[in-house]
Chains A and B, each alone.
Chain A
Amino acid sequence: MFEMLNALFSGFYQVFAWSTFSLMCVGIVVGFIVGILPGLGGPTAMALMLPFIFKMSAVEAFAFLLGMTAVTATTGDITSVLFGVPGEPTTASTIVDGHAMAKKGEAGRALGAVLTSSLVGALFAAFALAAAIPIIRPLVLTFGSPEFFMLAFLGITFVASLSGEAQLKGIISGGLGLMLATIGLDPISGIQRYTFGQLFLWDGIGLVPVTIGFYAIPETIELAVLGTSIAQQDVGRLGGVMEGVKDTFRHWWLVIRCSALGTFTAIIPGMGAATTQWLAYAHAVQSSPNKERFGKGAVEGVLGPGAANNSTLGGSLITTIAFGVPASVIMAILLGAFIIQGIVPGPDMLLPPPKGKLDLTFSFVWVIIISNIITVAACFLFLKPLAKITQVRGSLIIPCILLLIYLGAFAEKNAFEDMIVVLFFGALGWIMEKLEWPRPPILLGLVLGPLAENRLFLSSDNYGAAWLWRPGVLIILMLILAGILYPIIKERRQKRQGEASAPVREPRKIQPRLNGAVLFSLSIVVMVALALWRSRDFGFRAGLFPWTIGFPVLALAIVQLGSDLLGYGKRRAHAAVGEMGPKTSPELAYRRTLAIIGWIMGFFGAIWLLGFLLAVPATMILYLKLAKEKWPITLTMALITWALFYGLFDYALHVPFPEGQLFVWLK
């Protein structure tokens, strides 16, 4: 015990050595920028920084790298809230309610909430990491593929709570997400599923382009149609930063639960913050008494993911340290850093010196704590001006968001095709928003699908059917059942209590009709049917997952189509965000919609034709001039974005931007 405490303090002192501390601050600054910019992710930044650590000592190296990593999830949230474009893949879920809050004029509150919950999440994870040290190895070693599968399955059942009031639509969406997850090379038999001969689809569809398309594109369209700033209202102090800080303490237990969820789920290899954020979001919705507020700017929807995506780092670090098994890409790179420093991750990392390197492990804990405190403190200094961005007029913001959209889509994998994925899911997301289909279940299905399928086959290959009787499996199964049954029982009880006072329902009129909703449901039916048809020659192993998902989804989609046709599910008088702010006449809205769609496609066309380097300033100038901005402001903005873009992404980072097609022809 005494040795443990000794290591704890020794770790603390080591972090505060002058050189270590200053390197950590450099790391924080880098991580700060990386987090804010979409398309420049933590893993890339870490890989680029790896060469610098050859000459550092172990504590210095990890202070530098961890300081950098620890803050990306925090500052990535800022971009998500302000622009509706995920700053990091791990901050996508913050958009759903965070950006909705920004539109309500509560950007400050959302940022305050997300930063404070991030800090709580990070601190929780650090303490969990420290406390878990004695029990990590036995705990993780009792987990095999069957337990991993059950946990993924548990995550999938969260779809129900993400669906809000549109349960049927939500479950179909979740199923579609799982179907989308099967795109690519099947990992077990190597068969190509739904790749249409496209190599870029071999690895499946990325979470980042789908999220950008789903949220950023519909938001941009709305912004342009309303012709306002991002914040459509000014709510004064209520939307302020301090309010968000208070929110964290108002929902203290939610924040703690989501922090725990992030940390403990992340111990499982393959469960990074890209997944845990959605689980936390689903949990925030599930545990709230009034679910209908979510997606429209509920602060709990910001607090949950805010805490979880930061607390995940602690959990991932546990598996990396104790087993040398990287739980995420970032951890894989960190593992490389371990090796460079001549450290072998494993049980030794958990033993006090002189036998082990517990002091180093504790220094990680301290780095996470200190770097998060510094970052959040620094962010609070800038929060007011940052929140002001949401009050800048739309015409200045839109071209910047468009740039972030395409840059974020392209630079994650340096794949041109990902920009097409963005456009496709942008259109889909826009339609889904209009027709009130929930979008988060698709994303949850997309992140959990591969994990569930893989681990299911690994379980049955390793254990036959015997895996079903493993104690861990049964315990998780009970958790799943409880999660499903508890809300149903609760609802029944509430219904029975409220029965006496409930007003008599008016019988609905059944009115057959044909509209957008019908067409969309029909196209889902057709798409799923086609997908099933194509899967007929996948063979059993590659086909099992698409079939088990596909047939129920097809059946449910037909039910949905029927109910749309008959006019069930009357349109609710929804308090959609679109109805806030200044009213625009339908005719003007129609014209503006066409115009912004033109710009979105046009920007893409320009990138294709001219390449990024020319398309960015050209589109910027054209847009600003047509929006009747003055020349000085137009040129200044074009110059600043171009310089930032060229200097950082092209010159410093060597992102391989594709050459414009025009120049290819001219050659």
Chain B
Amino acid sequence: MRTPTLMDSNELKGSRVKRITGLVVLSLYFFILLFFAAPASAQEQFYKGKTVRIVVGFAAGGGFDTYSRTIARRLGNHTPGNPTVIVENMTGAGSLIAANHVFKVAKPDGLTIGHFIGGLFLGQVLGQKGVEFDARRFEYIGAPVKDHVVCAFTKASGITSIEKWVASKTPVKMGGVAPGASTPDNATRILKEALGLPIQLVSGYKGTSDIRLASESGELAGGCWGWDSISATWRKSLESGDALVVVQAAPKAHPDLPKVPLAINLAKTDEARHLIDVGIHADSEIVRTYTLPPATPKDRVQILRRAFFETLRDPEFLAEAKKANLGVDPIHGEEAEKRIAALFKLDSTLVAKLKDILYR
């Protein structure tokens, strides 16, 4: 309500001081300014003094939380009206509780942003229990980064190249955390099926660092998960050659790994390529998607999308992300939306196949 009155008084002032030429110019300047500012000011009004919450489906201190807090610190500066941005942790059921909350409970007013694991979208398609959302009705802001899945092994395991892996007489022991987890479990299962690799997936480790420890002690040979994480936590062994990346499951080779073969190029059938594309590539792109509740006003979706990507370009943000080892490789909202919509158009044989591979 404040801005219109200001506008009126400015206009009145403008008419009163017409005689003074210098001020005419000034008032004209004001008019022009107000004219151009008007479309934005409605939104500026909306976010001014407001608080935007990012509801994170995982506990404080984890990867999802760290991304969100790093983004939250700058997002307000890039949103017209400079709202306060805070992070709330709503943990439970592998972030499914948060996903359901954002869909069912959160108000679609552009003040609640959801951040839960993108593997849940495929989960919905495959009929995962407990899903109470419809991924097709969320609004998508985008994601700060794509995952880049690689499979790494210790030198001691003998799996030092893809050829050695294929030729292994005994199944190679690889670590997993739980059925349905995007990495390592889903990625490993899909590679096993699509490439016919000799793999024994041993699931139930607490996390990827536990898998790393079990690999170093010789209990496991290795595992498949994101390169950002492997390169940061296994760096010393990778440098010394005690650990090696044998294959990467991404559409393009990572700049750090120009010589490591791509899984998709090793696939021999269309079905195998399709499995890798849907089960690993698509999943990696949308795994860190930020969403808005269904029916959030389109103009606010646009504002937040723009603010989100400006934040991801902010040099200060990039400096912090670099320090915290958070990779930045954004996916735009439209792109994420397309990728997710495509999941719902998969043909039923592939869906049945995926269900069989991932949940058997």
Contact = CB atoms under 8 A, between A and B. Distances in A.
A395 B158 CA distance: 70
A143 B214 CA distance: 9
B129 A142 contact: no
B212 interface: yes
A339 B93 CA distance: 27
B247 interface: no
A413 B92 contact: yes
Interface in B61-103: 61-62, 65-66, 69-70, 73, 86-94, 96-97, 100
> For the side of the interface on A, what is the size category?
35 or more
Interface stretch (B41-49, B161-169, B231-239, B260-268): B231-239
A141 B212 CA distance: 11
Interface string B216-258: 1111100000000000110111000000000000000000000
B53 interface: yes
Contacts of A461: 200, 202, 204
Contact of A325 (B86, B89, B210): B210
Contacts of A192: 129
B61 A329 contact: yes
Contacts of A199: 92-93, 96-97, 100, 130
B61 A332 contact: yes
Interface stretch (B18-26, B144-152, B319-327): B319-327
A270 B206 contact: yes
Interface in A454-473: 454, 457-458, 461-462
Given A188-B204, A339-B232, A462 B173 contact: yes
B216 A323 contact: yes
A346 interface: yes
A48 B203 CA distance: 32
Nearest to B130: A199
Contacts of A43: 59-61
A415 B98 CA distance: 11
A338 B359 CA distance: 36
B205 interface: yes
B178 interface: yes
B279 interface: no
B17 interface: no
Contacts of A462: 173, 202, 219-220
B208 to A, nearest CB: 10
Interface string A221-244: 000000000000000000000000
Contacts of B86: 654
A142 B217 contact: yes
Contacts of A185: 93, 178
B73 A51 contact: yes
B90 A414 contact: yes
B204 A187 contact: yes
B69 A51 contact: yes
Given A46-B61, A462-B219, A326 B204 contact: no
A324 B320 contact: no
B142 interface: no
B60 A47 contact: yes
Contacts of B93: 185, 199-200, 202-203
Contacts of B65: 47
Given A144-B219, A187-B203, A344-B236, A324 B209 contact: yes
A344 B91 contact: no
B125 to A, nearest CB: 17
A346 B236 contact: yes
B323 A190 contact: no
Interface string B28-42: 000000000000000
A454 B205 CA distance: 8
A590 interface: no
Interface in A139-183: 140-145
Given A187-B178, A192-B129, A203 B323 contact: no
Contact of A344 (B60, B61, B179, B232): B232
A342 B92 contact: no
B92 A458 contact: no
Contacts of B91: 203, 413-415
A43 B179 CA distance: 27
Instruction: For the complex of A and B, list the 7 residue pairs with the smallest distance between their C-beta atoms, beginning with the closest.
Output: A47-B60, A190-B179, A333-B61, A47-B61, A202-B93, A656-B88, A325-B213
16 contacts: A43-B60, A47-B65, A54-B324, A141-B217, A190-B179, A199-B130, A202-B96, A323-B212, A325-B212, A326-B209, A335-B233, A339-B232, A344-B235, A344-B236, A458-B214, A654-B88
Given A47-B69, A326-B209, A340-B325, 10 more contacts: A47-B60, A48-B60, A188-B203, A269-B206, A270-B206, A344-B235, A344-B236, A415-B91, A458-B204, A655-B88
Interface of B: 53, 55, 59-62, 65-66, 69-70, 73, 86-94, 96-97, 100, 129-130, 173, 177-180, 200, 202-207, 209-210, 212-214, 216-220, 232-233, 235-237, 320, 323-325, 359
Interface of A: 43-44, 46-48, 50-51, 54, 140-145, 185, 187-190, 192, 199-200, 202-203, 269-270, 323-326, 329, 332-333, 335-336, 339-340, 342, 344-348, 413-415, 454, 457-458, 461-462, 654-656
